[in-house]
């Protein structure tokens, strides 16, 4: 194969605003739609690859916004891609990393698209390019974030009955510790042994609030606390882990491999949420996973409330590991009111099937893309 003559001929980016099925209430924002940056690369041999960069609620979650990501892709990264001959995914990412500081989300969109295109060129799923598939299905939880107790309980019962989800994450941190604990304890009590409940505080607590809440949540039968403290409060997280009252998961803290290594050294988490966008790409996420796994910590597959594109890219990666002990939260396509891919994702029996066709195994529906793009 004369890869020497291969070039990237076209780079397209779209910001799509897709409405959510219900308002999604988080400690830092309430979402009624999700804005996603979708990228498409076209190579000189005709192969195409798609990628995505999405943040939760614009700039309320991280330091890259959809508009900023699109600008970085269009004005800075695209000219580099068009100017140089294409050699490989690794060489392209190394070149981008030499020339662009930070911008993990934008870089991830490129890497996903490069792997998708390579998978199409070689006729294999992306999982095979990332070490090879170990599992075909991933368990997927559901986030109860309506903000209303009766709706949350009703939603949980419906999910269990339809065998779509039986693990629930509840977003807390907006109200007092007592109100939040009462809310999640009531949900846990209502579903009993038919389901499990975990909470995500999204950095909203002080150390004293976290210390007070931990035993209360453990008593209520809650499985774990995700990101109770500020992303950079490593010492506080370490203290909670040492107390051993309830498992502590870090999410916003895990900003790439270097930080993950610091967290692992500090023994600051029992569980690591793995997000490919937060890590800075699929190969960067592999490093985060390696650090966490080697240290004896457990894994959980996270999301930025992404479209099917990034969701399936994550699933392709997660499928190359024998066990994500705490499952995944790759549910966000189900929170979106409409889909802009041609395929229907298989969510059934509490799990998602990882597509097994070349590349990511999904394709853009151009009509829908045109409808939702800004």
Number of residues engaging Mg ion in binding (CB under 5 A): 2
Contacts of 300 (CB under 8 A, 6+ apart): 249, 271, 272, 273, 274, 324, 325, 326, 327, 328, 329
Q: Closest CB to Mg ion among 35 and 303? A: 303
User: Measuring CA to CA, which residue among 37, 95, 75, 53 is closest to residue 280?
Assistant: 53
Q: Closest CB to Mg ion among 43 and 300? A: 300
Quote the CA–CA distance of 130 and 125 in Å, as a whole number.
Answer: 9
* 171 labelled catalytic: yes
Q: Closest CB to Mg ion among 223 and 251? A: 251
Half-sphere exposure of 318 (CA within 13 A, CB side): 33
Measured N-to-C along each axis, helices 104-122 and 308-318 cross at an angle, to the nearest 10 degrees, of 70
Stretch that binds Mg ion, among 40-48, 150-158, 232-240, 249-257 (CB under 5 A): 249-257
Smallest distance from the beta carbon of 159 to Mg ion, in angstroms? 19
Can residue 306 be called a binding residue for Mg ion (CB under 5 A)? no
Nearest 5°: phi and psi at 266? Answer: -85, 0
Select from 64, 111, 152, 200 the one that contacts Mg ion (CB under 5 A).
200
Smallest distance from the beta carbon of 147 to Mg ion, in angstroms? 17
User: Measuring CA to CA, which residue among 306, 331, 356, 219 is closest to residue 38?
Assistant: 306
- Measured at the CA of 137, the angle between CA 38 and CA 339, to 5 degrees, comes to 30
Quote the CA–CA distance of 345 and 348 in Å, as a whole number.
Answer: 9
- Measured at the CA of 248, the angle between CA 242 and CA 250, to 5 degrees, comes to 120
Q: Closest CB to Mg ion among 121 and 171? A: 171
- Considering only residues 257 to 286 of the shown chain, the ones binding Mg ion according to CB under 5 A are none
Binding map of Mg ion across residues 38-57, x = CB under 5 A, - = no contact = --------------------
Catalytic residue among 83, 87, 107, 171: 171
Smallest distance from the beta carbon of 301 to Mg ion, in angstroms? 12
Stretch that binds Mg ion, among 58-66, 131-139, 243-251, 334-342 (CB under 5 A): 243-251
Can residue 251 be called a binding residue for Mg ion (CB under 5 A)? yes
The DSSP secondary-structure symbol of 86 reads P
- Inter-residue contact 137 to 165 (CB < 8 Å): no
Q: Which residue is nearest to Mg ion (CB)?
A: 251
Segments of 147-294 assigned E as strands: 167-171, 196-200, 225-226, 248-250, 271-274
Q: Closest CB to Mg ion among 111 and 200? A: 200
Smallest distance from the beta carbon of 368 to Mg ion, in angstroms? 28
Please give the C-alpha separations between residue 20 and each of 24, 30, 112, 124, in angstroms, as whole numbers. 8, 11, 24, 32
Q: Which residue has the tokens 């039968």?
A: 221
Q: Closest CB to Mg ion among 11 and 263? A: 263
Q: Closest CB to Mg ion among 49 and 173? A: 173
Smallest distance from the beta carbon of 249 to Mg ion, in angstroms? 8
Please list the residues that pair with 196 across neighbouring strands.
167
Smallest distance from the beta carbon of 52 to Mg ion, in angstroms? 18
Smallest distance from the beta carbon of 274 to Mg ion, in angstroms? 11
Indicate which residues carry an active-site annotation. 171
Provide the binding-site residues for Mg ion, judged by CB under 5 A.
Answer: 200, 251
């Amino acid at each position: 194969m004369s890869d020497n003559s291969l070039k990237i001929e076209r780079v397209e980016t779209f910001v799509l605003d897709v409405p959510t099925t219900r308002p999604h209430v988080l400690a830092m924002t309430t979402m009624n739609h999700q804005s996603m940056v979708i990228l498409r690369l076209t190579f000189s041999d005709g192969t195409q690859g798609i990628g995505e960069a999405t943040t939760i609620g614009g700039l309320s979650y991280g330091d890259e916004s959809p508009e900023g990501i699109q600008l970085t892709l269009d004005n800075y990264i695209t000219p580099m891609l068009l100017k140089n001959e294409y050699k490989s995914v690794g060489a392209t990412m190394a070149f981008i990393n030499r020339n662009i500081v930070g911008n993990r989300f934008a870089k991830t969109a490129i890497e996903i698209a490069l792997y998708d295109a390579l998978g199409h060129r070689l006729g294999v799923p992306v999982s095979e390019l990332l070490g090879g598939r170990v599992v075909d299905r991933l368990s997927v939880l559901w986030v109860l974030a309506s903000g209303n107790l009766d709706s949350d309980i009703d939603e949980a019962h419906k999910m269990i009955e339809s065998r779509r989800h039986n693990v629930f994450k509840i977003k807390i941190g907006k109200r007092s510790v007592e109100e939040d604990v009462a809310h999640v304890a009531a949900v846990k009590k209502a579903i009993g042994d038919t389901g499990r409940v975990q909470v995500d505080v999204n950095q909203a607590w002080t150390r004293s609030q976290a210390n007070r809440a931990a035993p209360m949540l453990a008593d209520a039968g809650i499985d774990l606390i995700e990101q109770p403290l500020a992303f950079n409060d490593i010492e506080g997280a370490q203290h909670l882990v040492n107390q051993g009252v309830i498992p502590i998961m870090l999410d916003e803290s895990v900003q790439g491999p270097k930080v993950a290594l610091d967290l692992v050294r500090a023994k600051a988490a029992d569980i690591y949420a793995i997000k490919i966008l937060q890590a800075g790409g699929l190969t960067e996420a592999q490093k985060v996973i390696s650090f966490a796994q080697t240290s004896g910590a457990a894994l959980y597959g996270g999301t930025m409330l992404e479209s099917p594109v990034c969701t399936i890219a994550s699933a392709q990666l997660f499928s190359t590991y024998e066990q994500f002990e705490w499952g995944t939260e790759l549910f966000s396509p189900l929170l979106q009111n409409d889909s802009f891919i041609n395929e229907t994702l298989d969510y059934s029996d509490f799990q998602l099937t990882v597509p097994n066709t070349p590349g990511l195994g999904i394709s853009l529906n151009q009509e829908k893309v045109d409808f939702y793009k800004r």
